[in-house]
Amino acid sequence: MYNVMSPKAEEFISHEEILESLAYAEANKMNRELIDRILEKARERKGLSHREAAVLLDCGLEDKNQEIYELAQQIKKDFYGNRIVMFAPLYLSNYCINGCEYCPYHLKNKHIARKKLTQEEIVKEVMALQDMGHKRLALEAGEDPVNNPIEYILECIHTIYGIKHKNGAIRRVNVNIAATTVENYQKLKDAGIGTYILFQETYHKESYEKLHPTGPKHDYAYHTEAMDRAMDGGIDDVGLGVLFGLNNYRYDFTGILMHAEHLESYKGVGPHTISVPRLRRADDIDPDVFDNGISDEIFAKIVACIRIAVPYTGMIVSTRESKACREKVLHLGISQISGASRTSVGGYAEEEPEEENSAQFDVSDNRTLDEVVRWLMEMGYVPSFCTACYREGRTGDRFMTLLKSGQIVNCCHPNALMTLKEYLEDYASEETKAIGEKLIEGELDVITNPKVKEKVMDYLANIHNGKRDFRF
Ligand code: SF4
Ligand code: SF4
């Protein structure tokens, strides 16, 4: 029985409710009147239910699809402006006791190199990331209570926050580790993590159990209820995601929105981010078995419909996607992207030798951070290295209230300009710097409050003179 307020996975992600929603969407995909009503509601920018969003995803009317894309673009502009927040993943360890059939880190893969970074190696990796200009990391580790216990993760976080190298600093560490206990989530919270990220992979229980035949991850309910436990442990910001390509995309699209509704209704705060990874080629993974792939066109539609359905949730796309594809979805709703990522354990400080391949998947976008930053600016985006909210205690419902009031833009935009200025001063090539300085000059005019503008100009001058870390 579907119940958004239930603590039980199978009730807040009800299989029957998803099937009914999909049937409803299929039956109404040419229903112009209904689609108009849903779009009208969406224009209020308060979001849509999973069922309404499913209808838009299936919509077969060309002119209405155009309206969907236009509305997604408009909502993206209204809520996130032209800013794109930058981050990088850091793989700590690929030891894993799970049997996920789509991931090369699965226990039975005997020919992938197994690695776990020591604290000394972490220092080197993080210094290399700082030297690129990164300020925000997403830590990744397989599930292995012997090799990667929670104490190891906590030690790594502590090491990372402690590294001060030249003008560099990692100011926000997000963590993507396996579902765990309330107690461990409390420890992560106390260690000062930003967002706790856990991908559901698929919400379809039967497929989930087949794809995860062995290991603790096999337990669908424990995995699906992890975000509730994370919030019980005091973590306000959680990041959802499914791996598109594992299962029917309509099913998982509806599932992820139901999960967002559950968190909002039951815990009072919706997800901080939604990631939209697509399955990629990887070691020991048969591409023919996992060719549930979705086209670029459907991928773009998913991004647009998520943007409309949950306007307050940031959306992340990684270097799994090519430059061309990222370009296509950026304006439809993506608010964060990774840049210059290595998906191996280590690899930032030194290139990994071919025979020691420890990568989780192939990267499609291999450009340097400088190239990615320049590319964004050439398209009119402002790359942002901002981490202010979490450091100002603006998390969970405090963050959402500010976002929903529309006031957050008064923080995001100045912070984006100031952190971009830091990047230009410390890390950019001459060409990127020239483009960036011009961009910042033009973007100052977007700040309408004269007092704020004056303060930003003062801070920018200070940054030029060597001071760092100003924020609103
Ligand atoms: Fe392990 Fe995660 Fe890979 Fe599964 S997806 S095998 S849990 S690292
Ligand atoms: Fe994100 Fe807050 Fe910075 Fe805006 S001010 S970019 S919401 S951290």
Which residue's CA is the nearest one to ligand 2's atom 2?
389
Report the predicted TM-score, pTM, of the whole model to 2 decimal places: 0.96
Which residue's CA is the nearest one to ligand 1's atom 5?
103
- What's the 419 CA to ligand 2 centre distance in angstroms? 11
- CB-ligand 1 contact for 148 (6 Å cutoff): no
Dihedrals phi, psi of 278, to nearest 5 degrees: -115, 150
- CB-ligand 1 contact for 105 (6 Å cutoff): yes
pLDDT of residue 283: 79
**Run of H or E residues at 258:** helix 249-262
- Best probe residue, ligand 2, of 79, 386, 398 (max atoms within 8 Å of C-beta): 386
Pairing of strands 172-176, 136-141: parallel
- Best probe residue, ligand 2, of 76, 84, 85 (max atoms within 8 Å of C-beta): 85
CA of 97, closest atom in ligand 1: 1
- CB-ligand 1 contact for 96 (6 Å cutoff): yes
Residues 255, 339, 301, CA angle at the centre, nearest 5°?
35
Task: Centre a 10 Å sphere on the Cβ of residue 66 and count the other Cβ atoms it contains.
Answer: 10
- CB-ligand 1 contact for 223 (6 Å cutoff): no
- CB-ligand 1 contact for 300 (6 Å cutoff): no
What lies within 8 Å, CB to CB, of 35 at 6+ separation is 28, 55, 56, 59, 61, 64
pLDDT of residue 290: 65
Question: CB of 470 within 8 A of CB of 459?
Answer: yes
The residues that bridge with 382 in the sheet, in sequence order, are: 83
pLDDT of residue 97: 98
Question: CB of 319 within 8 A of CB of 338?
Answer: yes
- What's the 217 CA to ligand 1 centre distance in angstroms? 8
How far apart, in whole angstroms, are the C-alpha atoms of residue 379 and residue 364? 20
- What's the 64 CA to ligand 2 centre distance in angstroms? 32
Pairing of strands 172-176, 382-384: unpaired
How far apart, in whole angstroms, are the C-alpha atoms of residue 242 and residue 292? 13
The ligand with the least distance to the CA atom of 213 is 1
pLDDT of residue 289: 64
The residues that bridge with 201 in the sheet, in sequence order, are: 242
Which residue's CA is the nearest one to ligand 2's atom 5?
412
Residue 150: half-sphere exposure toward Cβ, Cα within 13 Å: 14
The ligand with the least distance to the CA atom of 400 is 2
How far apart, in whole angstroms, are the C-alpha atoms of residue 423 and residue 105? 34
- CB-ligand 1 contact for 278 (6 Å cutoff): no
> Residue 283, class by beta-carbon neighbours within 10 Å (0-12 exposed, 13-18 middle, 19+ buried)?
middle
What lies within 8 Å, CB to CB, of 91 at 6+ separation is 117, 140, 141, 342, 343, 344, 345, 346, 347, 358, 360
What architecture does CATH give domain 82-366? Alpha-Beta Barrel (3.20)
Q: What is the largest CA-CA distance in the chain?
A: 62
Domain residue ranges in the chain: 13-77, 82-366, 388-464
- What's the 399 CA to ligand 2 centre distance in angstroms? 9
Which protein residues touch ligand 2 with a CB less than 6 Å away?
85, 384, 386-389, 408, 411-412, 415
pLDDT of residue 458: 98
- What's the 105 CA to ligand 1 centre distance in angstroms? 6
> Residue 405, class by beta-carbon neighbours within 10 Å (0-12 exposed, 13-18 middle, 19+ buried)?
exposed
- What's the 97 CA to ligand 2 centre distance in angstroms? 36
CA of 106, closest atom in ligand 1: 6
Q: Give me the helices (H) in 28-168, please.
A: 32-42, 50-58, 62-80, 119-132, 150-162
Helix, coil or strand: residue 133: coil
Question: CB of 391 within 8 A of CB of 430?
Answer: no
pLDDT of residue 312: 94
- What's the 128 CA to ligand 2 centre distance in angstroms? 24
Walk along the chain (472 residues) and give the pLDDT tens digit of each residue: 999 999 999 999 999 999 999 999 999 999 999 999 999 999 999 999 999 999 999 999 999 999 999 999 999 999 999 999 999 999 999 999 999 999 999 999 998 999 999 999 999 999 999 999 999 999 999 999 999 999 999 999 999 999 999 999 999 999 999 999 999 999 999 999 999 999 999 999 999 999 999 999 999 999 999 999 999 999 999 999 999 989 999 999 999 999 999 999 999 999 999 999 988 767 777 766 665 578 889 999 999 999 999 999 999 998 888 899 999 999 999 999 999 999 999 999 998 887 788 888 888 888 999 999 999 999 999 999 999 998 999 998 888 888 888 888 889 999 999 999 999 999 999 999 999 999 999 999 999 889 999 999 999 999 999 999 999 9
- Best probe residue, ligand 1, of 92, 217, 283, 320 (max atoms within 8 Å of C-beta): 217
How far apart, in whole angstroms, are the C-alpha atoms of residue 96 and residue 100? 10
- CB-ligand 1 contact for 390 (6 Å cutoff): no
- CB-ligand 1 contact for 98 (6 Å cutoff): yes
CA of 390, closest atom in ligand 2: 8
Residue 350: half-sphere exposure toward Cβ, Cα within 13 Å: 10
- What's the 354 CA to ligand 1 centre distance in angstroms? 22
- CB-ligand 1 contact for 241 (6 Å cutoff): no
The ligand with the least distance to the CA atom of 418 is 2
pLDDT of residue 455: 97
Residue 336 has which token pair?
Answer: 């964060």
- What's the 431 CA to ligand 2 centre distance in angstroms? 27
Question: CB of 311 within 8 A of CB of 47?
Answer: yes
- What's the 106 CA to ligand 1 centre distance in angstroms? 6
**Run of H or E residues at 184:** helix 182-190
Strand locations in 95-227 (E): 136-141, 172-176, 196-197
Closest CA to 437 of 461, 469, 412: 461
- CB-ligand 1 contact for 100 (6 Å cutoff): yes
